[in-house]
Chain A
Amino acid sequence: MARKNWWKALSVLLLLYVFIAGLTVPLTPGITTVSPSSVRTGESFTLEATGYNSRYTQGGPIRAWLKMDDEHALAAESVEVAGDRKVKAFFRMPEYLPVDRKVQDFTLVLDSEVDGASILPSAVFVTQDSIDPEMGQKAWTNSPVAQLHEHWTMTYPFRNILGETIRNTYFHVPMWFAMLFIFIASVVYSVRYLRKGDLGNDNKAEAYTRVGILFGLMGLGTGAIWAKNTWGAYWSGDVKQNMTAIALLIYFAYFVLRAVFEDPEKKARISAVYNIFAFSTLIPLIYVIPRLTDSLHPGSGGNPAFGSQDLDNTMRMVFYPAVIGWTLLGFWIANLLYRMEKIQLWLMER
């Protein structure tokens, strides 16, 4: 019993860990907004930054930079702390910038001993009154971003648009992995049916397909909620959303096909053939075409997926268990469905 069913216990344990760790571990301190967000050259200004999960009043002086690129950064002349979530940095922007662009964006970098470094990309836009890169180069006093406090903490990265919704990575993304694994299992049973011809294999294939569809719908649902919070709409016609909807149509058709045939042998044979055929069209649909088209999803249109930007080491510690946990849970549900079907058949035969 325990030797046979260990994976069910494992799935429950992993999912418990995913829920607890995924929902309780805090985010890394970050910067949500700054004001003013645009200035002119030659101005002296006080930049007011609002932090997230930050503890500015604790632990030592705070340093601030406005970074243009790797060679050019401007240090704040003084930094004043106005509470745990508010910090005011005084900057003096030179008359000319060392670029030949009218508007240049600067990244805000804050560093403190307790929070470590936090970054807000394109925080401030600087408009040049007159463009002279050579003058700018001469006038520029570079103060490189250095000696940042980097220490590892058990936190999830703070991404400006994502915020707390980054935790959905443990629920939305594993749904797709689990769906794929479950559909693969279903195809394996269909192949086995065609080779060996045992009706049990067909029932298993059907059960796995059902659960795969369930996971697909859950993936769409969690994705839609996530999209509402980050992209602004439940359905934005993103290529991955559309392709997934089509993929689900393909699998709904599988059940329509099954309903057509009376004879169980014929039903099993033809739906097994369709299942294999449908699965192989799923691969270009979900994994090839979205990568070639522009998409809002990471991993499409040349964006890296699972790069260090999306998934850091702390997140990996939860993400991979989540994938395994959800997949095992799916297999468990499919197993129950199959056994229920078997009992129903047995009751009908009596």
Chain B
Amino acid sequence: MRNSFILILIVAFGIMLYGLFDAFSGNEQLSELAKYYAQKENIEKVQAANLVTAVVVTYRGLDTLGEVTILFLTAAIIGFFLHNKEEKRFLRENSEIFITAAKLLIPIIILLGVYIFINGHLTPGGGFQGGAVIASAVILMILAFPEREFNSKFFTYLESASGTIFVLLAALGAIIGSGFLDNAIVPMGTFGKLVSAGVIPIIYSFVGLKVGSELSNILGNFKAVQSDN
């Protein structure tokens, strides 16, 4: 009985979505705003080969700032809810193969994450992807060596330091450049090289460190709650 009401509701919602589907006729060309971002002179002004990075860090940089703030808030609330002193508990030994492979792979995965966010303005990737890859290296570390204590203090300091540097670099653009998050406050370099696009790779690297340490802190909190009873 109750499910049939919900079914009617879902069907109504589906009809509404079908209206959207019916009105969509496929894009033949870019929207006006995207055309502005893809113009030659604007690309040469920002100098990021990856236009998604250009949108995330400069044109919509304020959105990114708000986004990392939301992520910080969720990490803080999770830490507040699940904060528990970690206790020793009996755990089955991991197999030798897993531990050896983890020791071999963890530095390589962290290196891959750093590569992804340093090259964010040239190749697919950037701060968010690199941070997620670093967090997956941390989860491998947690799974391989569960008896070691998770050092959440280090990640907290790393996270606050990168967030502060992000805001300071953005504000520096307002002071000596032409506006908040202006990327021309350092020498621009040549298009397509690693040292180019002004302050974009620097800001995106700090975003990567911030996202990686926040996600690692969330994972550490969920690990710590396991031993609490």
Q: A and B, one complex?
A: no
Q: Which A positions have Cβ atoms within 8 angstroms of B?
A: none
Q: Which B positions have Cβ atoms within 8 angstroms of A?
A: none
